[in-house]
Amino acid sequence: MVRTTLALLFLTVSAFTVRAADFYWVGGSGDWSDIANHWATTSGGSTFHVLVPTPLDDVHFDANSFGAGSDVVTISFEAFCKSFTAANMPAGVTFQFNAGINMEEDFSVDGDVNINNHVGNFVVKNGDVTLDNSVHFYKNNGHFYVTGGDVFLGDDVYFDKRGWVQQTYIYDGTFYFTGSNASFYHYDGYLRCYDGGMNVTNTNYFQTSSHDGYFYGDLEVGAGGSLSMSRTTRMYNGGVSFDAAATITQNANLYFYTTSLATYDIKTGGHEMRRIELGGTNYGATYNLQDDLNCQNEGLYLYANVFKSNGHAIDVGRFYCWTGGICKVDLTGTSLVRVKREWRMHPSTNTTLVIDNADILLYQATHQYFYGGAKTYNNVTFDNPHTGNVQIYINYDNTFKDVIVNSYGQAYLRWYNNNTMTNFTWNYLNDLNSQQTLGIYGSNTITGTLDFNLNGNRPIIQMNGNNNIGTLDFDKPKQILLGAGSTQTVGTINPIIGTCDETILINSTSLNSTARLSQATGTVVADWALMQDNTAQGGATFNATNTVDLGNVGGWNITALTAVTYYWIGGSGNWNDPNHWSLSSGGVTNGCAIPSRIDDVIFDANSFTGSGQFCNMNVSGDCHNMTWNGIASGAGFNGGNQLHVYGDLTCDANMN
């Protein structure tokens, strides 16, 4: 009985053995599964197959397949074939794939036809996809897989891929634009080209706004080609080459990874990039810049491998190399690196910077940060056109030639750690009454000049550490604040000259704790100064005229300034206007000075003539005692800056 059953089974299987065959579509519109009416054994023939095409069979659509351009071929259930070829058809024919279709080898369509694949996967296993001469391919759901070949888009082809979770995968192949005026739109889902890249040439257009794109090979856009990317594109074992005559709309990030020691090129054709990043595992691979780089939006981020500028100019939002892993930056031949807002180099010895002759310029109207990573630099310039409050930040134990800051607004300095440089110059280019703090918080060596050109601004210059300076020029700040216990050792201290209305306070950061100024030879001069908690030493002569000793001062030969009493006159006005201060009630202006912290100030019946008149605190100010007595009702005091009263404050009931 068992032998009989096995024999019958063998005869049954043998009777239905499938042999490779050619299937020709005939009869116009119809369903893929309608064997008896549409799958002929020859082109235009009337003999039909008895089964639908299998993975062994080649299917053909040709001039004998349709009667009119309105004909539609529908796939209602998942379809299979060895190869799919469609050519010489009437314009307007539609392939409506309402289920998946699977090709063992090539899929080739030529002509003005529509392919709508909105359900199921599109799979080509070991062949190419070729679309040419006005094919319109729409895919809305399901994956698009080419697992062993290339994709070719010819003349006037329109490829539209959508579907948020569906993917486009090309394994072991490259995406080519072989004709002109073709368009590839990839709106949703991942785009991955494995072991190959993409080549966009002529007047063709490629746009991706999908999830991240993955290319395992090179991404090339030739002259006349167009590329638009709005999501991250990840390049594996490849580079990019964008022709200057291409159209590049780049609102996405380009990430480069490698799996071997190799060399890749980055050529942007002068087009602005958003962000370029070298990441992943370090293999010592080299990425060579082939033309000038513009990444002003975000910048250049380097986390692994080797970046070489090859002498080309660089203009970026951030130059960012912040990794404890091995990474090398080689700027040989490049003369200038322009950075909008941040230079960041990791202090690890794994991070190598070859600066060669490159200077660095930071130039955006915003906070500017320089994390030097204890590397060696040439000239670094901070050019900041912002007219408001912005920070200039320098960090790590770096070595510079010259550092220059050009501030057009009220910039302030935060300078940390221990740096060595030839010269440091701070230029305020506009007089905006800046009273920011220019803070030097490390112990630095400046072999040339530390030079403050304040242009009428009166910041606080704070020096916390033990600095060694060739020549020190303070200009005329409001305050020189020296770190308690610190020593500023200087070859030459240029004259520290205040005026009767703008005195300079020299003191330490901690009350009753001394800071030291040291110069070995010569004479140091100060005029119109207030001194507290500082000692002059080193061997030079230190002379101070028109100066007030506020306590704990040593080493200075002081010609003292006598405290006086100032009376406000002339109604409304600004605190720092000498024309509103007199040495007597209702008297004439003294012509110069305004109150200091040793002087008393009085507001009385001769200060204001009526209600609504004010002394405006337009700057921060000082006085000893302040008295308001007998003023006009409704007059008073206003403003947004600080007043430091070092004695008593007596107010009047009439004041506002």
pLDDT digits (tens, 9 = 90+) for 142-158: 899 999 999 999 999 99
Give the domain ranges of the chain: 565-650
Q: What is the mean pLDDT of residues 69-74?
A: 96
**pLDDT digit string (tens) for 203-250?**
899 988 766 788 888 999 999 999 998 888 899 999 999 999 999 987
- The whole-number pLDDT of residue 16 equals 42
DSSP code of residue 272: P
Residue 19 burial by CB count (10 A; 0-12/13-18/19+): exposed, middle or buried? exposed
Phi, psi of 277 (to 5 degrees): -135, 135
> Regarding beta strands 39-40 and 22-25, do their DSSP bridges make them parallel or antiparallel, or are they unpaired?
antiparallel
- The whole-number pLDDT of residue 197 equals 82
Residue 591 above 80 pLDDT?
A: no
Q: What is the mean pLDDT of residues 603-629?
A: 94
Q: What is the mean pLDDT of residues 614-623?
A: 92
Q: Is 539 helix (H, G, I), strand (E, B) or coil?
A: coil
Q: How far apart are CA 187 and CA 501, in angstroms?
A: 67
What is the edge-to-edge ordering of all strands in the sheet holding 581-582? Answer: 581-582, 565-568, 600-603, 626-628, 649-650
Sorted by sequence, the CB contacts under 8 Å of residue 226 that are 6+ apart come out as 200, 203, 204, 205, 206, 246, 247, 248, 249
CA 179 to chain centre: 37
Residue 531 near residue 544 (C-beta atoms within 8 A): yes
Q: What is the mean pLDDT of residues 196-201?
A: 85
**pLDDT digit string (tens) for 453-506?**
999 899 999 999 999 999 999 999 999 999 999 999 999 999 999 998 889 999
Residue 655 near residue 635 (C-beta atoms within 8 A): yes
Q: What is the mean pLDDT of residues 531-549?
A: 97
- The whole-number pLDDT of residue 165 equals 64
Nearest partner of 106 among 72, 81, 88, judged by Cα: 81
524: left (phi over 0), alpha (psi -120 to 50) or beta: beta
Q: Quickly state the pLDDT bin for 191 (edges 50, 70, 90).
A: confident
Residue 601 near residue 628 (C-beta atoms within 8 A): no
Phi, psi of 473 (to 5 degrees): -120, 105
Task: Compute the CA torsion angle 143, 145, 150, 151 (nearest 10 deg).
Answer: -20
- The whole-number pLDDT of residue 63 equals 97
Q: What is the mean pLDDT of residues 551-572?
A: 95
Q: How far apart are CA 517 and CA 523, in angstroms?
A: 13
Q: Quickly state the pLDDT bin for 13 (edges 50, 70, 90).
A: very low
Q: How far apart are CA 120 and CA 587, in angstroms?
A: 96
CA 506 to chain centre: 40
What is the DSSP code string of 365-432? SS-EEEE-TT-B-S-EEEEE--SS--EEEEESS-B-SEEEEEESS--EEEE-S--EESEEEEEE-S--
- The whole-number pLDDT of residue 18 equals 52
Q: How far apart are CA 603 and CA 582, in angstroms?
A: 11
Mean pLDDT of the chain: 93
Q: What is the mean pLDDT of residues 601-608?
A: 96
Q: How far apart are CA 207 and CA 229, in angstroms?
A: 6
Residue 211 near residue 234 (C-beta atoms within 8 A): no
Q: How far apart are CA 410 and CA 430, in angstroms?
A: 9
Q: Quickly state the pLDDT bin for 298 (edges 50, 70, 90).
A: very high
CA 184 to chain centre: 29
Residue 383 near residue 403 (C-beta atoms within 8 A): no
- Length of the chain equals 656
Longest dimension (CA), the chain: 136
Q: Tokens 């000692």 map to which residue?
A: 535
Q: How far apart are CA 375 and CA 343, in angstroms?
A: 12
